[in-house]
Copies of this chain bind each other. A is one copy, B any other.
Amino acid sequence: MKLYNYFRSGTSFRVRIALNLKGLDYDYVSVHLAKGEQHGAAYRAISPDGLVPVLDVQGQPDEALLSQSMAIIEYLDETHPEPPLLPRDPLGRARVRALAQTIACEIHPINNLRILKYLAAPLGLDEAQRTAWYNHWVMEGLRAYERRLQDLAEERARRGLPPSVYSYGDHPTLADCCLVPQIVNGRRFGLEYEGIPLTLAVYERCMQLDAFQRAHPSRCPDAE
């Protein structure tokens, strides 16, 4: 497998974590977003919308270029079931997907590079306004994530279950693959993450795992 990605891209980071959790080897192909490589003809032939990541899954079992990080991770989970990245029961799966989408639909799209660039030009917002924008939407989303973790913790307590180790249960899931890159990204912007203790505790526990450590931007071949 070949992963077209970028060290600082949060969506790329998600897929690197999933590949590591599954124990799958892959070739790392860097697409340098800050230099604009995603707009070049060579990459547009791989990814018509110029987005990373793209996973090339030649022959395992399909011949295809896959895009959209959550879709890629679900594909990996369906084609390489162990260890599972989603629970087996429909309710648990809905919970994990909702957690993942709280990051992937409520936070990340509003704060990625292309949006921040558009705020600078044509909109002409200064750095303080852009940082306020970033912080506002990240914390809005992470507070929602925290409330979901609280609700799930109460539900487990009612059922006599011990607290979750990760976002949902005792094993990392799709939700953790989305959460960790968002936390790492926000640190670059100086966020201190006050008021979300459950979320931060999950992050810390994930970062103790080799699969998460090896996927970190600082460990990527194109890290700066």
Contact = CB atoms under 8 A, between A and B. Distances in A.
B68 A102 contact: yes
Interface in A92-145: 93-95, 97-98, 101-102, 104-106, 108-110, 115, 118, 122-123, 125, 129, 132-133, 136, 143-144
Contact of A64 (B66, B67, B91, B129): B91
A136 B118 contact: yes
A222 interface: no
Given A93-B75, A97-B74, A105 B108 contact: yes
A3 interface: no
B147 A48 contact: yes
A72 B105 CA distance: 14
Main secondary structure of the interface of A (DSSP, over half): helix
B90 A148 contact: no
Contacts of A72: 94
Contacts of A102: 49, 68
Contact of A123 (B71, B93, B98, B125): B125
A48 B79 contact: no
A70 interface: yes
A110 B105 contact: no
B110 A110 contact: yes
Interface string A152-191: 0000000000000000000000000000000000000000
A-B pairs, 10 with minimum CB distance = A49-B144, A71-B97, A48-B147, A68-B98, A75-B94, A68-B101, A109-B109, A62-B91, A78-B90, A71-B98
Given A48-B147, A123-B129, 18 more contacts: A49-B143, A49-B148, A51-B144, A61-B90, A68-B102, A70-B97, A70-B101, A71-B95, A71-B98, A71-B101, A74-B94, A75-B93, A106-B109, A109-B109, A109-B110, A110-B110, A118-B133, A123-B125
